Amino acid sequence: MAEVGGVCAVVEDSSGGDIVLAFVYTSAAGLSTVLGGMIPFFFNVNEKRWLGAGLGFAAGVMVYLSFVEILTKSHAYFVCVAGDDGATWRTSLCFFSGKTLKDKDIRTYGSIVIDDDSQEHDVFEENSFVDEVEREDARRLSNMGLITALAICVHNFPEGMMTFVSTLSNPSFGTPGSTLSGLVVTLAIAIHNIPEGICVAMPIYYATRSKWQGVLYCLIAGISMPIGAFIAWGAVGGTLSPIVYAILFGLIAGIMVFISVRELIPTAHRYDKSDGMATYAMLFGMALMAFSLFALGE
């Protein structure tokens, strides 16, 4: 999907395909993000080191995804618009503009990084959570989760279109010029989206202690895939201009990398001072995203 030919391709006429099946596949792929958001339902994550591991994992996913997939797509869309000349500097400009926007947001509303003075216990008690993470810090964690959800939402939009069209083209035996069937694409994107759900849900859970609120944010992140499918069905290629995608992806990559470096990684190490889990979780997040991109054929 990251190749120039892929991102520049116009949605083909897919009349005669199974539209219902295409919507089912696309919705399943998008809503798999919710599975990542359900981690707190199945694991005891009250120990602070699990917050460190969760934030480290999120940082690994977001950094790898930003540099290997999202920024690459931004560059490819700029190539679609203006050719190779200037695509690199335009992509870089959008990337650092995204970093600057997020930096300004942090300077205005504050960082989520919590002072060492608040790190006195190893376990979050249900009734003392506000004492452990003050309300202002919780608000910033929640804000970070929302920003991540919105960034992933925009990132998932064209993937929804791709899944829908690949299913209509050939749901069982592969899309033209590819060995990937609609079902295989759906499964690969689902694997790809589950760790993205963890990125969204973990800070929300620790900020609010609400498992369902984390799931809700994951739903926001994943719903853009069926929306993308709906637009692909109704407009047959009448989607956003490549220049819009190029700018948005560049900005998103900058925002996600800056959040990871400025917010997630320092906070992960504050909660996992011995670094027994945070760094390894970050590397695992990168490896998992590498596997998912390989499964998608990128």
Domain assignment present for 27: no
Domain assignment present for 17: no
Q: How far does Cα 173 stand from its chain's mean position?
A: 28
Q: What is the mean pLDDT of residues 242-257?
A: 83
Domain assignment present for 28: no
Q: Is the pLDDT confidence value at 85 over 70?
A: yes
Q: Nearest CA to 81 among 266, 251, 250, 247?
A: 247
**Model pTM?**
0.65
Residue 175: predicted pLDDT: 41
Domain assignment present for 1: no
Measured CA to CA, the distance from residue 264 to residue 9 in angstroms comes to 36
Q: Nearest CA to 77 among 7, 12, 11?
A: 7
Domain assignment present for 19: no
φ, ψ of residue 295 in degrees (nearest 5):
-65, -30
- Per the structure, how many domains does the chain have? 1
Domain assignment present for 15: no
Q: Nearest CA to 184 among 18, 28, 6?
A: 28
- Give the range of the structural domain holding residue 66, as residue numbers without chain letter: 41-295
Query: What angle do the packed helices 182-208 and 135-169 form, to 10 degrees?
Result: 170
Per-residue pLDDT band at 14 (split at 50, 70, 90): very low
Domain assignment present for 9: no
Instruction: Specify the DSSP class assigned to residue 115.
Output: P
Domain assignment present for 26: no
Number of Cβ within 10 Å of residue 71's Cβ equals 24
> What mean pLDDT is reported for the chain?
74
The token pair that represents 170 in the structure block = 């050939």
